[in-house]
A and B are shown apart, each in its own frame.
Chain A
Amino acid sequence: MPPTVKVMRRPEGARTSYLRATLKGMALTFKHLVNPNKVTLQYPEEQPVLSPRWRGTHRMEVHADGRPKCVACGLCPTVCPSNCIRLVGGEDDQGNRFPIVYEIDEFRCIFCGMCQEVCPVEAIHVGVHFENAEYTRDRFVYDLDRLMEQEHPTALLWDPSDPRSE
């Protein structure tokens, strides 16, 4: 079938009014010019309101004595779809497992939040946080100490019984 061209008829000459349309437009732009309600967020001074379910860079929860809550079960590196978590687990004298190495490559991470979802002891969390700028690339691999230092709030998980967080 040959391509067909749809011809759009413009309004007839007598029905168009450039002048009136322009004056209307000028009035509209003037209204916006003097309108004090701007949509711009003055960012460093004003912070955006993030959703409680916002999934940002991770943080590791710690016990009162400063140890990480992680028990090195290995579920998070297993579930991680982008394979960005490196975990080497160890065991102390009482048989408690703990992470020797726990690194998250935030460049590889897709912030799906499945690590938080899968964690049996609620140790690893994604955070409500977005200011992650660094001067070098290697600073984006967060090690265990760095993860434990983070102080931003942690993300709420989606609750199937309350799907709209009401």
Chain B
Amino acid sequence: MLPSKSHINLFFVIFSFLWAVFTYAQNQQFPGIPEFKAPVPSPLLGSFNQPSANRNQPQLPTPIYPQRNNYTERQYRAEIQNVERNEALRTQSIRDMESDIEQHLSALKYNFPSHYNKEGAKLYYDTFKAMQSVDPDNYSIKDINFGIENAFTANTENKAEFDKIIKETGQFLKAKMKELGYDSNSNLAKNYILFQFFSETLQLKATGQKHFPFKYDFNDYMGKKDWSNMFVSKLIRSGTGQCHSMPILYLILAEEIGAVSYLSFSPNHSYIKFQDERNKWYNLELTNGMFTTDSFILNSGFIKSEALQNQIYMQPLSKRQLLSQSYVDLAAGYFHKYGYDQFVEVTLNMALELYPNNINANKLKANYYTDLLFYVTRQLGINPEKREELVKIKDNPAAMAILIKTQQQYRLMDESGFEYMPADAYEKWLQSLNNEKNRQNNETFSKQFKGLLKTKVKQ
């Protein structure tokens, strides 16, 4: 399952209330920046009480008005002084009140506090910079992904060692291809040896080197306990992984042996697509080591036709789109390590610039704004899950702007055809791969392959 911290259920609650507020807001024509007009405290600022204008003002003595001509000069002077003193007190009290309000408002934060000064955070900024310096259409997924994992583990990964493992694995695969008599120029043969590497025990007769198939990690397939469980380095170390680390390692090895393969998304999931020499497409499900049909993927029940029309699922990702997903991985790692701040937003915007319909970027962005909305409304003493409280947000333009951004993000996702897939439905779908029909499909594919590979050898 791909990284996502889901607030979606909650959002059904909020979402139904948003419309009312939104319509109201449109009539209000509020500016984007908070504007302070008159010192009239809004009912929003729950803890704040309007300071009484008379609070510090001494009561005027109720004079028994003497006759005009009875006024002495001394009396006049005293009265003028009295008025002046009262005026000064009044001004002071207004000034106090204004500064009270100002203080209260400036204490409101409309952005998450930055984690920039936290240990290791700078490494994330460096990685981001490094990613920006590559050519989006021509880069090494091995290097990019290493940087992302290394940022999370605070520079404890050894690049030289990692490169060595990948290089040796590449040599192993090439040698095995030769041993099996596969056509070393065929994209189909290269992808097939990669598939075998993931799903079968492979042994090189010449050296006796042996590799066991990778296994699915049922323990923490969403990286909830430990985000680094999603990593390729963990997959290499332990031999177990999930739909995140397995396809990425596949792509890294494909890059190493010169195979052309693509990452592709389905709800909560990613898998591998590649083409044979006759441009026929194949789907590879690495978590079970099987070839799958499009209809198996469609059968998850959470792919709407709009999602396909908008190309958010089941498309082979271009290099650029894959880089977009790498930015999402970077943002997700940062979030799991430190929590949200603007780094996450900037990184996701970068991802969406490369691939505007990247559903994982849009999901994380929706969660980001949701949390930001909660962060701000908490300061305002508003519970956004309660409709009667949420409507009060319209009094605060800056908070309102966040609400609207959140709402727009969810509407964008709805329109792109996204539908939330619960974790149990996902697990059930993945397990359904093992049923008879899908097993047969897989065998048919494999047989087709073997046939093609053999013909290649004869030629």
User: Are A and B bound to each other?
Assistant: no
